[in-house]
Amino acid sequence: MTSYVIRRIILGVPTLAAISVISFFIIQLPEGDFLDRKIAQLEQEFGDRSSLERVEALRVRYGLDRPLWNRYINWVAGFARGDFGESFEYEREVKEVIWERLGFTVLISLGSLVLTYMVAIPLGIYSATHQHKWSDNLLTMVSFIGMSIPGFLLALGLMVFAFEAFGVPLCGLFSLEYEGAPWSWGKFEDLLKHLWIPLIVVGINGTAELMRIMRGNLLDVLGQPFINTARAKGVKEWVAITKHAVRIAINPLISHMGMSLPRLFSGAALVSIVLGLPTVGPLLLRSLLNEDIYLSGTILMMYSLLLLIGNLLADIGLACADPRIRYE
Amino acid sequence: MRSLKAYFGVLIALAGCQAQQTADPDLSHYPRGLEAREAPTLAKLVDEGKLPPLEMRLPENPLVARHDYDGYEGAGVYGGTWHHIHAAADLGIWKNVGGYTALIRWNRECNGLESGLAESWEYNEDGTILTLRLRKGLKWSDGHPYTSEDFAFYYELCLDERHQYNPPVWCLVDGTPMTVETPDAHTIVMRFAGPNWLVPLWLATNVANSCDIYNIPKHYMIQFHPDYNPEYKDFDEFERRWNKTHLNPERPSLWPWCLARIEGAGYRVVLERNPYYYVVDDLGRQLPYIDRVVTQLVPDHQVRLLKILAGEVDCQFRLPKSRDLSLYLKGQKKGGYTVRRWTDGSGGDPSVVLNWSAPDPVLRELIREQRFRKALAFAIDRDKCNAIAWQGLLQPQAATISEESWHFDDEEGRVLFEEWKRTYSEYNRELADRLLDDIGLDERDGEQYRIRPDGRRLSIVMDVPAANEHQEQNDVSLIIAENWRALGIEVLINAQQGAERYLSMRLGRHTVSLTHEAEMDLFTYPDWVFPTSPRSWHPKVGEWYKWGGQRGEPPTGPLKGLLDIYDAMKKEKDIQKRHEYVRQAVRIHIDQGPFVIGTVARRPALVIVTDHFHNVPQKGILGTWAVVQPATSYPEQYYIQYGESK
């Protein structure tokens, strides 16, 4: 097991390297760079050749005059010392910019991950054990709706609903008076009051999907002979389900978790833009549009790393949950 | 289910409770209302000895804010927080509200200049020496004096070869930069290599171009200057802090509210009042009235809409979109705000730019043919553009600069402008068809498209902004394409994102491109009318002019005439005669144009003002950045007061 984990970690390095190359070069495929936007602005301001010289100086400062591969190597070489380059737009270090937004990003993503599993697994079990009853049919219908509504649309819908019904826009994470105030119990409560919308919106697709998976798997397992054996032995029905059936049926959900981590992050990105949340997502979108290359490249790398870590954790989790699975 | 709904209802209601900004009880014994000559928060600091008294903080002759406009309600009370929204980390929108601390200012009517940090300015007889007199006793937000030294320091930096910034364009005469002398702490003398009459305008025009660049706190910046601090070997750290008024809270500022905190990488920016601000109301009370500005980054347009509808934004310029007008109007009562219809002052939203030096030689010849350009102009159904893209809120017209521009500020000027606006703006398909037939484009291919002189199909690529960047212009482009196709011209729409469209326009790669056109002052931003820079309809000739004939294409025909007028205008002392030159140029546009084809213009620029927010003007112009509105109406005299009584 240990050697397997180590091997996986080592394999992750070339994967990340490949991702970094792709993300760095694709970002810069469109014509023009951040400075071309800047030139537009400076020319508006100065309208003369001096502004062009000025821009050339900026180009040197940002290293945009050097060839692409050279810039790439400089960028990647900095990783080892924790240097991810400078954001052009914010004129600060990339890691500082991301760091300021990371807290809420993690909060929302992990929060909805927990919410997703806490809601989806019990409902999936309930749905499977009550197959074709009206409650199952209702849950099935709800989960199909949940799977097919895009998160950003739901967010907009909820906001309009909340606004029409109660007259407050539910954007942001705090009410006006707590925004920027030091942490207090009141502020925490206020956060909880706002947090449920992003959590639900980010988690809804995953919840609906997991619920379907859980239901299907459990139905498969419930028909199998060992469950009948357990029942025949006189094991109570709920013990047979939770101890014998669910333990097998839950395996795909664990491997699913590896995938859901990055998906939650990118799902949170769209929703954050719509809800105006201070997370990394809107930062990524803007940096991509502006060709703020080091910032967007670093965020993409971070997402990729999450994917790798998620997968690894899921595999390890799977091994722990199901003694039959061994990695050699 | 019902209980669930009720539960959410309570949550939402709780979330929405807004604590009203109540005054700190400590402040209750300080004068309030109109008796207070400074904000109670500052009065308290003075009592505690943390701040010098008001008399020491104000200059000897403070600037008195003008308030002779419709919408002014009277002197205000101190206090409150202005909730505001911004769209990008550079705070561009805010700078046009609270960042205009220029040496010389545009007046609110945009028809002249008024004093700012400089009390007065004068030229010598031949326009080679400009003397500015600063107000005595001006101070940076940290209390350090603002003097002519600061300007001299800025200009030294411009001349410093090690430093990336060059002398600004306005200080050059035939390529020779000015010299700056500072005989005393409040006098700046600029000497030019020849007559240079436009400098006061340049000092006043466009925040990002003027005060944002030349107002530098020397005492703070020298800490990072290699000559003053041996710790630094280069200008890297200096650059990072130089004119970053919007990014560096440590940097002393002259703004009415200075940057206090940036949270979440620009997600929320807090500005606090500047205790040394140099402007007072006519009772001699220090401005600004409002204590604090909190501006939040809201990238999504729908969310901005919702926040405004909910009354969470106290006063907002530039961001509310005119296509949401009916929604905003409907929500006025519930949201507790009113919508004021300012204008964007545009002469084309969009204007259709035809590249005089289009890359394809055949199209280039066609575009230089006046009848071809006229045909394109007559073919556009402007009423349809207006109705479909803009819900009928704009007006159909030819491409012009802003109607309010000071170049047309008399009877004769208005008549001329009216003529310019009307020429080539009617919809006349038959005439357009006839014009094209007349220039020999009467042959058609199997699909009814016209054949060019070289035997190929007449086909034009039109560069337009992508729908997510500018929905309305994108819509208009579809109607133009339809109209031109009906004329027998194939139109390929090329939607572009980000810097692409700008770039292709600068390099002159476009044939036809759409762009927003609005300009108040052609003395400082001449290039809509005069081909002086590589952009818009004259990229190659503009390049030629800008590089002194070393690059680009020499001007011919009407473009030569325009450049001759521009050169004469630059040397003219008398402002009336300068306006005269502009009118001559407009005459060329009328007689030999259109060079840029108009569609619809004059978008209502919506301004949101909540009911407790006072003194915001009823009218203004928000399209062009040169004249810095609303800052020219002194937003520091806006105030917040709930209820009726003062």
Domain boundary among A81, A116, A151: A81
Please choose, from the candidates B393, B395, B368, B623, the residue with its C-alpha nearest in 3D space to the C-alpha of residue B520: B623
Is the domain of A259 the same as that of A127? yes
Q: Measured between CB atoms, does B208 come within 8 Å of chain A?
A: yes
Query: CB distance B12–A162 less than 8 Å?
Result: yes
Min mean pLDDT across A49-53, A185-189, A300-304, B175-179 is at A49-53
Q: Measured between CB atoms, does A186 come within 8 Å of chain B?
A: no
Is the domain of A74 the same as that of A111? no
**Which residues of chain A have a CB within 8 Å of the CB of B497?**
30, 289
Q: How confident is the model over B147-155, as a mean pLDDT? A: 92
Residues 62-91 on A with a CB inside 8 Å of B are 89-91
Residue A44: how many other CB atoms lie within 10 Å: 18
3-state secondary structure A82-111: CCCCEECCCCEEHHHHHHHHHHHHHHHHHH
In terms of CA atoms, which chain A residue is nearest residue B548? A49
B403: helix, coil or strand?
coil
The string of pLDDT tens digits covering residues B278-301 is: 999 989 999 999 999 999 888 778
Residue A120 falls within a domain, yes or no?
yes
Chain B: closest CA distance from residue A26 (Å): 16
Residue A12 confidence (pLDDT): 83
Is the domain of A191 the same as that of A137? yes
Query: CB distance A44–B503 less than 8 Å?
Result: no
Is the domain of A6 the same as that of A132? no
Residue A103 falls within a domain, yes or no?
yes
Is the domain of A33 the same as that of A180? no
Domain boundary among A21, A51, A81: A81
State the number of CA atoms in the 13 A half-sphere of B516 facing the CB: 17
Chain B: closest CA distance from residue A242 (Å): 29
Place of tokens 């040496």: B103
**Residues 6+ positions from B468 with CB-CB distance below 8 Å:** B497
CATH number of the domain at A204, please. Answer: 1.10.3720.10
The string of pLDDT tens digits covering residues B422-481 is: 999 899 999 999 999 999 888 888 888 999 988 899 999 999 888 777 888 889 999 999
Q: How confident is the model over B31-41, as a mean pLDDT? A: 83
Residue A90 falls within a domain, yes or no?
no
Of A51, A90, A162, the CB nearest to B89: A90
Residue A176 falls within a domain, yes or no?
yes
Of B300, B310, B506, the CB nearest to A167: B310
B19 CB-contact burial (10 Å; exposed 0-12 / middle 13-18 / buried 19+): exposed
Q: Band of the pLDDT at B185, cuts 50, 70, 90?
A: very high
How many distinct helices (H) and strands (E) make up chain A?
14, 2
Cis amide prior to B40 (ω within 30 degrees): no
Is the domain of A65 the same as that of A179? no
Residues 313-352 on B with a CB inside 8 Å of A are 334
**Which residues of chain A have a CB within 8 Å of the CB of B15?**
168, 170, 175, 190, 193-194
Min mean pLDDT across A28-37, B385-394, B481-490 is at A28-37
**Which residues of chain B have a CB within 8 Å of the CB of A165?**
9, 12
**Which residues of chain B have a CB within 8 Å of the CB of A98?**
265
When scoring A33, A38, A45 by the number of chain B Cβ atoms within 10 A, the one with the most, hence best to mutate, is: A45
Q: How far is CA B622 from CA A78, B296, B600, B601, in A?
A: 44, 20, 17, 13
Domain boundary among A53, A81, A109: A81
C-alpha radius of gyration, chain A, whole number: 25
When scoring A56, A170, A191, A192 by the number of chain B Cβ atoms within 10 A, the one with the most, hence best to mutate, is: A170
Is the domain of A14 the same as that of A40? yes
The string of pLDDT tens digits covering residues B579-635 is: 999 999 999 999 997 999 999 999 899 999 999 999 999 999 887 778 888 999 999
**Residues 6+ positions from A69 with CB-CB distance below 8 Å:** none
Is the domain of A16 the same as that of A159? no
**Whether residue B88 has pLDDT greater than 90:** no
What is the domain extent for residue A13?
Answer: 2-81
**Which residues of chain A have a CB within 8 Å of the CB of B263?**
100, 180, 278
Residue A129 falls within a domain, yes or no?
yes
Is the domain of A76 the same as that of A115? no
Q: Which residues of B76-99 are buried (b: 16+ CB within 10 A; e: fewer)?
A: bbbbbbbbbbbbebbbbbbbbbbb
Residue A91 falls within a domain, yes or no?
no
**Which residues of chain B have a CB within 8 Å of the CB of A46?**
168-169, 209
**Whether residue A43 has pLDDT greater than 80:** no
**Which residues of chain A have a CB within 8 Å of the CB of B17?**
175
The string of pLDDT tens digits covering residues A14-26 is: 888 888 888 888 7
Is the domain of A22 the same as that of A132? no
Residue A48 falls within a domain, yes or no?
yes
- % pLDDT > 90, chain A: 0
Residue B612 confidence (pLDDT): 92
Is the domain of A147 the same as that of A284? yes
**Whether residue B6 has pLDDT greater than 50:** no
Residues 111-170 on A with a CB inside 8 Å of B are 156, 159-160, 162-163, 165-170
Residues 93-112 on B with a CB inside 8 Å of A are none
The string of pLDDT tens digits covering residues B475-524 is: 999 999 999 999 999 999 988 876 677 777 878 888 999 888 888 888 88
Q: Measured between CB atoms, does B22 come within 8 Å of chain A?
A: no
Is the domain of A300 the same as that of A176? yes
Query: CB distance B498–A289 less than 8 Å?
Result: yes
Higher pLDDT, B631 or A87: B631
Q: Measured between CB atoms, does B164 come within 8 Å of chain A?
A: yes
Residue A55 falls within a domain, yes or no?
yes
Does this model's pTM top 0.90? My answer is no
The string of pLDDT tens digits covering residues B530-578 is: 998 888 898 889 888 887 888 888 998 899 999 999 989 988 889 999 9
CA distance B97 to A111: 39
Q: What total of structural domains would you count in chain A?
A: 2
Query: CB distance A50–B168 less than 8 Å?
Result: yes
